[in-house]
Structure 1
Amino acid sequence: MTTSSVFASSPGPAPPGGPFDGDTLDHIAERLETEGYAVVPNALPPEHVNRLFLALKETPAADFRRAGIGRKDDFQLNRFVRSDEICWLHGDTPAARDFLSWMEALRQGLNRRLFLGLFDYEAHYAAYPEGAFYKKHLDAFKGRSNRVLSTVFYLNPNWQPTDGGELVIYNEADNQELERVLPEYGKLVIFLSEVFPHEVLPARRERYSIAGWFRVNNTAAGAPDPAR
């Protein structure tokens, strides 16, 4: 899939408001259309980021499980590929509900600007213990998934360059590094799921994020995305 080939569907209604104002949405849409990915520092107001961080820290450890690779019948645990732990977001807390509402506003705003036909959104907390990683991978294989856009929202207060844990985005064509993103508090990264291989480098302290995916309707994708 090329960067331009995903922009073909009908627009949705106008976004209901929130931190993704017109200028921010225009910036994200322009970057997605021209580069295929966008990095947005301070994407949400600090007070809301703090609420998300507190909700994450208050989530019982028992709610997290080791992350695997593949889905449904192909699912497997592989510590050589990834070593993070995840907890799916279901809107059980006010902070999670707000975050999912913001992602809904983002979905509608991008549909209006880029005609992506994004249908819904799923997301989970991701906790990386010190030294944890996720080797280079794609979030969706061409023609086999309905994941169109991947998002990563970082919840790491006072993160320093010496802490490591960068997200590295690669060019699929020549495998060259395009960008190395420091997982700083309140930063949002959005990229085309089928286009950009990426990896999470080991960090020198615990690292937190919310990973999510905007999806299209199964019938539009040509092949259903298995239930998680």
Structure 2
Amino acid sequence: MVAPPPESLSSSPILLATGLAKSVPASGGPRQLFAALDLSVSAGEVVAITGESGVGKSTLLNIIAGLDVPDAGQVSIAGRDIAGLDETGRAALRCRQLGFVFQAFHVLPHLDLARNVALPLVLAGAAQQGALARAHDMLAKVGLPGRGGDWPAVLSGGELQRVAIARALVHAPPLVLADEPTGNLDPETARRVLDLLLAQARDEGAAVLIVTHSEMVAAAATRTVRLTAAGLAATHGAAA
């Protein structure tokens, strides 16, 4: 008898978080943001996280990316438990497996736009010429064609947001984390950026997790979950 083939890797979650808990210092003692939080996101899914300001949405993304440490629980990305990695290992995992759109942009002021966007490719060992060509292509996709030689200091907040999104997607990572990616954008550009994130899931098979207050983003997601101190509750789509 021939044994059935093993379950495809694509059927396993790209992101799996279990039992996460996090508290932050407060004047009256530690304040719990969330506890016993479970979340999985599979290839091709777009999951939107909503919730009131201060409930820990950005903190949750930082924990998933290995930039912050939970009080309890664990996170695995593409089957790798990030708690078992040292800082070098976590940095390497982020470089190859993760694209992060930070709310504060984190565009490097000493690099022009093309080199900012190409940075994940260069860090992963790509040749500079090819990395820069890909960066210029991504800048065009976010509505900044021909701007690769510009410096971050001359950009508006919305333009910096688009650079950050291009950088997060340039290396086609299997997991994309986006913190309010449309928050600084006009409606037309917000729609274009959302379409790019949706295409990353649809065409590249990425798992996409978006923190958002945008009804447009939430409505376009595969499912939407709301974060409260009690954990995650599904508001549309399947349970978290």
Report the structure number with the largest CA radius of gyration: 2
Q: What TM-score does the superposition give when structure 2 sets the normalisation length? A: 0.32
Indicate the structure with greater helix content: 2
Q: What TM-score does the superposition give when structure 1 sets the normalisation length? A: 0.33
